[in-house]
Amino acid sequence: MNKKIVLASSSPRRIDIMHKHGYDPQIIPANIDETLPLGISMTDAVMFLALKKALSIEDKVERGSIIIAADTIVYKDEILGKPIDYKDAFRMISKIRNTSHFVTTGVAIIIAGENKKKAFYDITKVFCKNYSNEEINAYLDTDEPYDKAGAYAIQGIFSKYIDHYEGSFDNVVGFPWALIEKEIADISQT
């Protein structure tokens, strides 16, 4: 592929996944208002935010560049984004205890300066073990929960509280690579 790849994110996890698959993207983090329209579904929410991120950096890259943006949420009776503080993180981690929830990542891929735009999503069902309030508090005393949707990282310290999942692990990390790679190939062919 001869097109420049731009990642609209500074997420170390997303950058690592791209590097692992042989891509060295230009990194231009999107800085957008992530307020969602009232009543939006979890799938529409992540695609809306991913597309908003991709479009927000389009004028900062050279025409023809492939821009990739993503947004991840946890859903358990409501959208659980990044916690605003300790109390909010405690609420989120308590809510997913000993039950299942959904992790949805929306991805937008656009070609800068062209009318080629694609938004899609992936969903993984995650099952958590039972854990005590003391275990939650110990987890919340680490730095891990505060910049993560749903206040946890499946690949981090919290992994010991994950029973199992149905779907893509990379999706829960925040970057469903199998789908992304297919869509990069498709959009750069058209």
Choose among 101, 100, 99, 78: nearest CA to 88.
78
Q: How far is CA 132 from CA 98, 138, 159, in A?
A: 10, 10, 15
Structure tokens at 112: 């800068």
| DSSP3 helix / strand / coil % (the chain, rounded to 5) | 40, 25, 35
- 25, 7 Cβ separation under 8 angstroms: yes
Amino acid residing at 93: I
Q: What is the rounded distance in angstroms from the CA atom of residue 110 to the CA atom of residue 72?
A: 18
**84 CB neighbour count, 10 Å cutoff:** 9
Is 71 designated active site? yes
Radius of gyration (C-alpha) of the chain in whole angstroms: 17
Q: What is the rounded distance in angstroms from the CA atom of residue 40 to the CA atom of residue 35?
A: 11
Could you say which of 33, 44, 71, 163 is catalytic? 71
Annotated catalytic residues are 71
